[in-house]
Structure 1
Amino acid sequence: MAVTFPSGPLVSAQWLAEHQQQVVVLDCSVARTAATNGSTAFASGREIFLQQHLPGAQFADLFEQFSAPHASFLFTAPDARQMSEALQAVGVNQHSLIVTYDQLNGAYAARVWYLLAGVFGWNNVRVLDGGFPAWVQAQGTVEHGPAHAVSRGNIQLGSAQPMLVSTRQVEQQTRFPLVCALRREPFRQAHIPGSINLPYPELLDAAGLIDIGQVKSALHDAQITPPETLLLYCGGGINAAGLALALVASGYPITSLLLYDDSLNGWLSDPSRPVASDPT
């Protein structure tokens, strides 16, 4: 019997437990630590994966595989060839079903989901709602050590859709609301002038699940009505993908959610660009 995904971008831990043998599970974890200067340092999550991961999961490396390898900024979107090769390496075929998760707040899993579903129009992908903690809470079983060997897949993604926006386009555009997914404190410190703040972490409940009621309330408070086209950004395109996931889970069309891929990393790289702040 063929397996089909539930509608919407999310699957529950219970659904995954019942269909785990019929999907490709990708652990998209990234290591995040506080640097000595107070900034955040990022590194491959491979060691996190080796310590613990969902049974049968493959590791999706957002540093060496699932991002452009020689880009100026971390987590820059790869092209179709790079993304296809990354997916082939973890056993994804043209008709595979993929479930992504991470061991933080789900934004890195959402990043891979957005690249596939939004940028490349490949819809056989969902995100595990609540990620690794939800799985442990519901099922408990985890694996340790390297991923199981898999046969190389044959997926070939098509051309990218015009969902990713460049810095030049952000400078020139005035049509779409700019929506920043950063937490409130970093948003107050620096953001693109005219931006609306919809912090992705505030759209999660106490268990780390996407809170649809909170998403709809946040949209109402921001006076945003679907399917109004939005231009999402954050620090480096990760929380923005999490925000896109939360919005689509609440019924927003993904085709209305553009993403500024370089985000503040790109905007702040030129000190001549205007920056707004709210120190209060």
Structure 2
Amino acid sequence: MSYTKPEALLSTEWLAANLDDPKVVVVDASLPRVGVKEDTRANYRDAHIPGAPFFDIDVIADPNASLPHMMPTAEIFAEGVCKLGISNDTKVVIYDQHGIYSAPRAWWMFRAFGHDNVGVLDGGLPKWRSDGYPVASDTVVPSLAEFSANVRPELLRLVEQVNANISSGGEQVIDARGAGRYNGTETETRAGLRSGHIPGSLNVPYANIVKDGSMVDSTALRHAFEAGGVDFAKPITTSCGSGITACILALGLYLEGRDDVAIYDGSWTEWGGREDLPIET
């Protein structure tokens, strides 16, 4: 069974055939995994897909936020992607060093700023390399481009909206964290956070829809969400630890036809860090 909207997920074969297309820009949007000491910037310098600049999710972000990698203004986003050689006519291909981990965050950011011509490389850099395609260690200096960002507020949820939704029940909130963190039986990876989940939220761990660094097929995708109690006919917001793996769920839902899924940007780093917000375990 094929995906309903397969254009958001690109194969290594497709990228290899289109890598030299001047209208295609591929970027590395890697972040260190939570709880793992790794330098994704240094890894990028050692080996990246030829021609790919580094999309720094921690830099193309709100510089005044106390929470990690919060959404920037349209102006900051546009300035950041212009420096990567990306214009409104560009086909953007995003990958990360772990397969599918942080690349969907950058994918969602582009969509939230009005750019739909964007896809995630299925399997990321590991699959690119295992399929025998070349990597580079040169310094990539993109030509400056022009990009106009147009915010889609419907794809973003703030804490006030999520809190109000607890009583209204207008949207399903799906938590991408593992079951232990969701249930409060495992200590949070970030210091100072309470354990548990947003009252009424569902749990679909992102690891249930990614296998060996690639997205599972359509049948397995739908099964994973339905097993978590998700109703595909109702509005959906996804959440996680800090707004990264929530975007993996959004990508999976997009592939199944849901292009209207919102992200709770602050996610558990915000919710679990505030004593004035309710939790369930």
With normalisation by structure 2, the TM-score equals 0.87
Please say if residues 100 and 210 of structure 2, whose CA atoms lie closer than 8 Å, have aligned partners that are also in contact: no
Counterpart CA distance in 1 for 2:90 and 2:39 is 25
Could you say which residue in structure 2 is the equivalent of 1:184?
179
Please say if residues 231 and 260 of structure 1, whose CA atoms lie closer than 8 Å, have aligned partners that are also in contact: yes
Could you say which residue in structure 2 is the equivalent of 1:90?
84
Could you say which residue in structure 2 is the equivalent of 1:195?
201
Could you say which residue in structure 2 is the equivalent of 1:210?
216
Relative to 1, partners in 2 of residues 1:7 and 1:105: Cα closer, same or farther, differing over 3 Å? closer
Among candidates 132, 135, 146, match of residue 139 of structure 1: 132
Please say if residues 44 and 63 of structure 1, whose CA atoms lie closer than 8 Å, have aligned partners that are also in contact: no
4+ residue segments displaced more than 6 Å: none
Q: Does 1:245 align with 2:251?
A: yes
Could you say which residue in structure 1 is the equivalent of 2:31?
30
Among candidates 66, 70, 73, match of residue 76 of structure 1: 70
Counterpart CA distance in 1 for 2:31 and 2:151 is 27
The structural deviation recorded for 1:21 is 1.2
Counterpart CA distance in 1 for 2:89 and 2:239 is 31
The structural deviation recorded for 1:276 is 1.8
Deviations 1:103-157 (A, max 9, x none): 124231100111112x12211111001111111121331111422x221011111
Counterpart mapping for 1:110-189 below 5 A: 110-117=104-111, 119-147=112-140, 149-173=141-165, 174-189=169-184
Counterpart CA distance in 2 for 1:204 and 1:100 is 16
Please say if residues 16 and 133 of structure 2, whose CA atoms lie closer than 8 Å, have aligned partners that are also in contact: no
The structural deviation recorded for 1:271 is 1.3
Please say if residues 49 and 145 of structure 1, whose CA atoms lie closer than 8 Å, have aligned partners that are also in contact: no
SS of 1:49's equivalent? Answer: helix
Please say if residues 234 and 240 of structure 1, whose CA atoms lie closer than 8 Å, have aligned partners that are also in contact: yes
RMSD: 1.9
Counterpart CA distance in 2 for 1:254 and 1:44 is 32
Counterpart CA distance in 1 for 2:39 and 2:146 is 25
Counterpart CA distance in 1 for 2:94 and 2:216 is 15
Relative to 1, partners in 2 of residues 1:99 and 1:83: Cα closer, same or farther, differing over 3 Å? same
Q: Does 1:16 align with 2:15?
A: yes
Counterpart CA distance in 1 for 2:162 and 2:273 is 14
Could you say which residue in structure 1 is the equivalent of 2:189?
none
Could you say which residue in structure 1 is the equivalent of 2:230?
224
2:115 is aligned with what amino acid?
Answer: W
Relative to 1, partners in 2 of residues 1:171 and 1:44: Cα closer, same or farther, differing over 3 Å? farther
Counterpart CA distance in 2 for 1:123 and 1:261 is 20
Q: Does 1:67 align with 2:73?
A: no
Could you say which residue in structure 2 is the equivalent of 1:3?
none
Q: Does 1:58 align with 2:62?
A: no
Among candidates 238, 253, 259, match of residue 254 of structure 1: 259
Can you give the 5+ residue segments of structure 1 that lack an aligned partner in the other structure? Answer: 1-5, 35-39
Deviations 1:213-240 (A, max 9, x none): 2211122223433242111100100000
Can you give the 5+ residue segments of structure 2 that lack an aligned partner in the other structure? Answer: 185-195
Length, aligned pairs only = 261
Counterpart CA distance in 2 for 1:276 and 1:116 is 33
Identity over the aligned pairs, expressed in percent? Answer: 28
Relative to 1, partners in 2 of residues 1:210 and 1:70: Cα closer, same or farther, differing over 3 Å? farther
1:55 is aligned with what amino acid?
Answer: P
Please say if residues 78 and 148 of structure 2, whose CA atoms lie closer than 8 Å, have aligned partners that are also in contact: yes
With normalisation by structure 1, the TM-score equals 0.87
Counterpart CA distance in 2 for 1:47 and 1:69 is 23
Relative to 1, partners in 2 of residues 1:225 and 1:207: Cα closer, same or farther, differing over 3 Å? same
SS of 1:107's equivalent? Answer: coil
Q: Does 1:267 align with 2:271?
A: yes
Please say if residues 121 and 161 of structure 1, whose CA atoms lie closer than 8 Å, have aligned partners that are also in contact: no
